[in-house]
Structure 1
């Protein structure tokens, strides 16, 4: 038995769940993992976030309490051990948007409308103090990951991201100028649950928000509508952008332009991030998502506001051969 298992067993016992059955629930791109605890008709979720691997449960607790204070459905914190990186949280179930819509696309408009309205409600409230700044410079540099990891992996040659970073910085300076609001950063169909037994905005269950920071209002919106893991119909995405603008009182045309700019930034970052997850962290499953992200990027780069970014990107297409190269390099790059 590992030291980590001994610690988690002690935490679970101390929380009063020693007699529960324990079933693996999920892992993600980070070092965190989740188990479901089952005790008769009761369930809870154990989050294991190892501090020695850079994880910290305290931001999750802060954000969960903030969201719940706004009447939103983040999991309740049932027990915590921040020093050792364990949380016991409310189990919101399995009806993820992605899972629900895979079986029946009929509710798509209704549940995406609710998710957009959650964002409007969230952004209208003051954010918790002391959050990191998802600043323009931070985001521009993150877009450069597409050159540093994705393009380099495919070409086999080091890439200079300077021009791309500068072009992205200028595009955001021109078109992403709203007052910063709380952004959850991973707001998409595999982190949202549909809870029809609740009412109003509480029907949208929220997961994976511990990286909340201050950023542009359209960032979480475009995360929802340009999902790396499922196709969102273009007409639905356009309607949701208009609905977000109407709900927040924003001008729809600048909102749509900001969505294109932030969508391009996000796609560029994800291309680099997914490649890094394969090459550096040995997680090749993310490679299969790259073509969808690429399609989002091409759509966004066609916007006139992104002409300079489009010229600076110079990225190779994710052909089957290119994707195979990224997969073949899985786990072989300790650092750049």
Structure 2
């Protein structure tokens, strides 16, 4: 699924209908889905055109979550214009200062930035969960890790004990599913490449949120694991430990949260190992292969936690070392 960055043919009419008829349209980005983004540049102003073409994409969840986040003091793009049937949105442009590149340029500020985005999650998790979202719990967690056996294992001709795989994961995740911690709005793709830094704003408002259309209602540990065990950049283990303690101290959730954090980090990283192979094999997006050694490093570190012993035993018995990070070193 190689995306071409040519604006949709109906984009000029859409823009003209909403007062942007004289604007230029330039490519901005594509992502792992069918969505594409273009910068729209007019006289002294600019915005972003999101193309979420039906039937592959539906912009309605993005709109609903964006408006919900804005109403709760978080910074999501304002929706400037919409044609939901054609999958076109004109949204606020957050500019080009992304957290990922800022961290790369100023690694000494890593702790400060991650403190800010951890506090953002604490604010988000202090709100009642958004109505109408799908639930993210044990059934969904087990379904997601199946991407590893469905895609990763066949790619390396691995014959594995699938029944044992799911039994191990259920043993680890079932206690998390019933741990009694509040269920919250989970942005689900919360990481440094989906967070923009906005000038002239302070506190958590300076962090512009993107790519939240797949939001769910789920465990509060999930998004913290997503941002601290980032597939696209190395977060120092010291900062990860500091932010985990920061969240626990400020939320008062205690050891149940810590247990859930490591279990859901491992679950997410296992899912991503499968997702990235699917993007490579099915969708022709070989670039995602570059992240696999990092994902294996993160997963293997997660599996050293005592609560992950059943899953660690399964990996040790079924996935040899040469089929892990070493397989992606070419």
Alignment-derived partner of residue 184 in structure 2: 181
Cα pair distance change 1:320/1:57, threshold 3 Å: same
What are the ranges of 5 or more consecutive residues in structure 1 without an aligned counterpart? 326-336
Q: After superposition, what is the alpha-carbon deviation per residue over 1:209-263, rounded to whole angstroms, capped at 9, x for unaligned?
A: 0000011100000000000000000000000001011121211x33222111001
Cα pair distance change 1:196/1:148, threshold 3 Å: same
Q: Is this contact kept in 1: 2:297–2:325, CA < 8 A? A: no
Cα pair distance change 1:324/1:154, threshold 3 Å: farther
| SS of match in other structure, 2:26 | strand
| SS of match in other structure, 2:25 | strand
Match runs of 1:113-152 below 5 Å: 113-152=115-154
Alignment-derived partner of residue 255 in structure 1: 257
Instruction: Give the C-alpha shift of residue 3 in structure 1.
Output: 11
Alignment-derived partner of residue 171 in structure 1: 172
Give the distance between the partners of 2:136 and 2:203, measured in 1 at CA.
Answer: 29
Does residue 323 of the first structure (1) align with residue 325 of the second (2)? no
Give the distance between the partners of 2:147 and 2:159, measured in 1 at CA.
Answer: 12
Q: Is this contact kept in 2: 1:271–1:293, CA < 8 A? A: yes
| SS of match in other structure, 1:106 | helix
Q: Is this contact kept in 1: 2:296–2:325, CA < 8 A? A: no
Alignment-derived partner of residue 50 in structure 1: 53
Does residue 238 of the first structure (1) align with residue 237 of the second (2)? no
- Partner of residue 203 from structure 1, selected from 201, 206, 209: 206
Match runs of 1:89-104 below 5 Å: 89-104=91-106
Q: After superposition, what is the alpha-carbon deviation per residue over 1:262-297, rounded to whole angstroms, capped at 9, x for unaligned?
A: 011001100000000000111000011000010010
Give the distance between the partners of 1:172 and 1:139, measured in 2 at CA.
Answer: 8
Give the distance between the partners of 1:246 and 1:226, measured in 2 at CA.
Answer: 20
Q: Is this contact kept in 1: 2:8–2:51, CA < 8 A? A: no
Alignment-derived partner of residue 15 in structure 2: 12
TM-score (structure 1 length as normaliser):
0.91
Instruction: Give the C-alpha shift of residue 323 in structure 1.
Output: 3.1
Q: Is this contact kept in 2: 1:140–1:166, CA < 8 A? A: no
Alignment-derived partner of residue 38 in structure 1: 41
Cα pair distance change 1:321/1:105, threshold 3 Å: closer
Q: Is this contact kept in 1: 2:18–2:81, CA < 8 A? A: yes
- Partner of residue 310 from structure 2, selected from 292, 304, 308: 308
What are the ranges of 5 or more consecutive residues in structure 2 without an aligned counterpart? none
Q: After superposition, what is the alpha-carbon deviation per residue over 1:72-100, rounded to whole angstroms, capped at 9, x for unaligned?
A: 11000000011010100000111111011
Say what the alpha-carbon RMSD is for the aligned residues.
Answer: 1.9
Give the distance between the partners of 1:230 and 1:217, measured in 2 at CA.
Answer: 22
Instruction: Give the C-alpha shift of residue 303 in structure 1.
Output: 0.7
Q: Is this contact kept in 2: 1:180–1:214, CA < 8 A? A: yes
Q: Which moved more, 1:89-98 or 1:225-234?
A: 89-98
Q: Is this contact kept in 1: 2:135–2:216, CA < 8 A? A: yes
| SS of match in other structure, 1:73 | coil
Q: Is this contact kept in 2: 1:148–1:158, CA < 8 A? A: no
